[in-house]
Structure 1
Amino acid sequence: MAHTRKGSKKGHPLDSLTPQVPRSNYLHLQEEKQRLQMKKFLLDRIFLVASIQENVDKEAISDYYEQAFQTILKYHVGEGVTGLLLIYPTSLLHILESSNGTLLRILLDYVNHVKNDEEFLIQNVKIVTVSHDIPTRIFQHWHISIVKVPVIYLDDVTQSLSLNEVLTDFLTLTHKLGIYLFKTVKVGAKGPGDNLHLVAPDLLLPEQIIKYLCRAEELVDPETFLNMYSKPIHVTFDSEVVWPAPSHF
């Protein structure tokens, strides 16, 4: 008997085992290249506040950080620093994005300067928060902005706020400012300049909040942070535990 084979839409059984070649385009290639470049190290972000010595040239502060970055990057090649340095009349706000090792060296450099020079131009540095393994950078470069025009406040609102409330305002405004700069500052541009008080007055953090955080005892200074980071964690192994627990009569 002749067997009539019916047509079937199913392919050969081995077709399902054949590896499929993924289709890509130039955009996907560039995104993958950027992803690999950015994942050479885990990216951290740190928020710092500090007081400024009286009669200190504001440009000397930016020069100090630029020289420190150049020295540190010799040991951490490819781990560039991005962020924002806002220099107020008597205080500063510093946001830094880089690898964990680079940020630790920046803190250590400051600690060494303070130990060797009691009248170092930057004083009372406090670490507000540290974010580990962030997905991406907010700042494309390291920007400097000198707030030349002081803002006069009739009442110091921080006097009636708790530390948690001040921290909430601090993180909210700095995040909004970072997003604003990310959208407005073009790649390759020098940065926002010294007119943030004109282009984004509602996003500029009041100096009284920075001075409040510099006085907050709950926030740690770089030396304390580095000591905590370097301190070994005591781990109790199962072999060290005796059961039942010894009792004394």
Structure 2
Amino acid sequence: MSFSGHTQKAIKRPFQLEALLSPQVPRSNYLHFQEEKLRLQLKKLLLHRMFLVAKTTANTEKKDITEYYEQAFQSILKYHLGETVTGLLLIYPTSILHILESSSGTLYRILLDYVNREKNEREFFIQGMKIIVMSHNIPTRIFMQWYVSVIKVPVMYLDDVTQSQSLEEVVTEFLTQTHKLALYIFKTVKVGTKGPGDNLHQLVPELLLPEQIIKYLCKSEEFLNPETFLNMFNKPIHITLDSEVVWPAPSRF
């Protein structure tokens, strides 16, 4: 009897050891949660958002502008794989308002392509472009795709606000209205659809900027054009140390 008792104890020990060695359920924490969230968002690059305004030549059609940008995006995508461009292009009768979201390298090439076209073509249909704001390292995209909308009819206004407001007030209104419009599109336009369409002037006329503000910003010298911006971007930064301006120059051993 005692032999059988010892046998039973010997049999139980391997099972107890196996239970201790069995894989345990991993415990997660808040850090792991945040890392997983970033991984799921596929945030492989820093995002930037750029606001542009420009004038268009007479008889410029929507097809001309959209085809130009779509070809530019496809060409740039060969060098910047996975860095898609999202945003909104509003085409007014004689001007455009363009919001772009992508990496710094992609936005740089978009500006560079415009500068080359403006220099090489006798009369490029997009002229007088100005960079109003460039927001760096934005947390997320507002636009899920790149949308194009034509403002078919001009919106009537009682007075020209650019005559009574300062430049700071005009820029504040510009950014406020564009962000409100962006949030409206984010909430109403489903992913995969063509976009808000060409009837924004009927759906949300109160969110559309007057074209006179866009023209006013195009004329303002306070904002950089793409060529000047790129020259500053490519210019190296030289820092003069105090030791470099001391005379006689310090000797080094």
Is the TM-score greater than 0.5? yes
Deviation above 6 Å: which 4+ runs of structure 1? 27-30
Distance in 2 between the 1:124 and 1:29 partners?
A: 43
**Structure 2 match to 1:95:** 99
Q: Deviations over 1:62-97 (max 9, x none)?
A: 110001000001100000000000000000000000
Compare 104-113 and 176-185 and name the one that shifted more: 176-185
**Structure 2 match to 1:16:** none
SS at match of 1:150: coil
Q: CA deviation at 1:189?
A: 1.4
Amino acid of the structure 2 residue aligned with 1:82: T
Distance in 1 between the 2:188 and 2:25 partners?
A: 42
**Structure 1 match to 2:235:** 231
Distance in 2 between the 1:71 and 1:104 partners?
A: 13
Change (3 A) 1:175 1:244: farther
**Structure 1 match to 2:198:** 194
Structure with larger Rg: 2
**Structure 1 match to 2:90:** 86
**Structure 1 match to 2:37:** 31
Q: CA deviation at 1:30?
A: 7.0
Gaps spanning 5+ residues in structure 2: where?
1-23
**Structure 2 match to 1:21:** 26
Distance in 1 between the 2:237 and 2:37 partners?
A: 39
Give the counterpart of 2:138 among 134, 141, 146. 134
**Structure 2 match to 1:155:** 159
Change (3 A) 1:219 1:28: closer
Distance in 1 between the 2:185 and 2:49 partners?
A: 16
Q: Deviations over 1:105-164 (max 9, x none)?
A: 000000000101131010000000101111100000000001111112342121111110
TM-score (norm 1): 0.84
SS at match of 1:132: strand
Change (3 A) 1:29 1:131: closer
Distance in 2 between the 1:94 and 1:43 partners?
A: 16
Amino acid of the structure 2 residue aligned with 1:111: V
- Is 1:65 paired with 2:69? yes
**Structure 2 match to 1:5:** none
**Structure 2 match to 1:216:** 220
Gaps spanning 5+ residues in structure 1: where?
1-18
Q: CA deviation at 1:31?
A: 3.3
Q: CA deviation at 1:34?
A: 2.5
Q: CA deviation at 1:165?
A: 0.6
Amino acid of the structure 2 residue aligned with 1:34: L
Q: Percent identity?
A: 66
Amino acid of the structure 2 residue aligned with 1:95: I
Amino acid of the structure 2 residue aligned with 1:189: T
Distance in 2 between the 1:237 and 1:34 partners?
A: 46
TM-score (norm 2): 0.83
**Structure 1 match to 2:181:** 177
Aligned 8 A contact 2:155 2:205 in 1 = no
Change (3 A) 1:41 1:28: closer
- Count, aligned residues: 223
Two-structure CA RMSD over aligned residues (Å): 2.2
Amino acid of the structure 1 residue aligned with 2:223: L
Give the counterpart of 1:77 among 65, 74, 81. 81
